[in-house]
Amino acid sequence: MTSPITVVTGANSGIGRATALHLAANGHRVFGTVRALDRAEKLLALAEQEGVDIELAELDVADDASVERGFADILERAGRVDHLVNNAGVGGNGVVEECSSEQFLDVMNIDLVGAIRCSRAVLPQMRERGSGTIVNVTSVAGRFGAMAQAPYVASKWALEGVSEEMALELAAFGIRVAIVEPGVTKSAIFGKNIEAPNDTGAYGAHYQRMFQMYAAGIQQATDAVEVARIIQHAIETDEPELRYQVSWGAAEMVAGRDAMSAADWFALGATADDAEYARRFSELMGVDITGV
């Protein structure tokens, strides 16, 4: 039986690296995309340690020409792509008032348009063949307004919408689209995502509350391999779903937000006392952030 050919973007760290290694260990021929081949030493070392093979492809999801070159290289080597995991992304902190247009555009270019670029690169041959899977890794922050993370929320919310659009458009061609929505997962992204600009001086509490939620999550963060297993399931299952929540707080927070009224949402944002905010957030969203 021929191994399925799977491309995982952003394979150098976090969820992408865990997914590339996990799929390779479970019979996939994996191409991991990285922005620079000479910075993939840890990925290759882990692959060797685990006795699996990861083939590298150099591309930057933020650049049209780079994506075109990278996927041309993959298709030349492999002949086809059966599954694409759009994982590459960045965080983006800031309240709406304090974020520049450039900040929004930069995050959207990577997190949203990057996934679109990579999807466009594989869709012609998937459509012609009448099969394929595209898994878009979004975030629980794509399902509700996450305090002081406006660029990230915007990009992930937009990717959720584009994913629904793709699922509708591509079903007629036998192409499956799945959305994976991680909560707090062990990843290098949290070490990089520490900005709290507060340029106006008006939003100190907002940044503090964002960090409190993540501090609670990091204490209980789920190993990235759990996300990798969900991605494998989304690719291989005979009973596909459109959305999958995974990792700390994901299912609870999505369910909690879906159950909230507009009045509850407005009241949560208007809460002045930090301790009361943490208590009320925990009660409404189904995760405990009061002990941090």
C-alpha distance from residue 230 to each of 70, 107, 116, 139, 225 (Å): 26, 25, 21, 14, 9
pLDDT in tens for each of the 292 residues of the chain? 799 999 999 999 999 999 999 999 999 999 999 999 999 999 999 999 999 999 999 999 999 999 999 999 999 999 999 999 999 999 999 999 999 999 999 999 999 999 999 999 999 999 999 999 999 999 999 999 999 999 999 999 999 999 999 999 999 999 999 999 999 998 766 555 566 777 899 999 999 999 999 999 999 999 999 999 999 999 999 999 999 999 999 999 999 999 999 999 999 999 999 999 999 999 999 999 998 6
In this structure, how many other beta carbons lie within 10 angstroms of the beta carbon of residue 162? 19
Tell me the torsion sign for CA atoms 13, 14, 18, 23.
Answer: negative
Compute the C-alpha angle 150/224/237, nearest 5°. Answer: 100
Structure tokens at 248: 């700390």
CA Rg value for the chain:
19
Sequence ranges of the domains in the chain = 5-203+222-250
Nearest to residue 162, comparing CAs of 125, 196, 117? 117
Q: Which residues are catalytic?
A: 152
Sheet of 132-137, strands arranged across: 54-58, 29-34, 5-8, 83-86, 132-137, 175-182, 243-246
β-sheet bridge partners, residue 85 = 8, 135
Provide the CATH number for the domain formed by 5-203+222-250 in this structure: 3.40.50.720
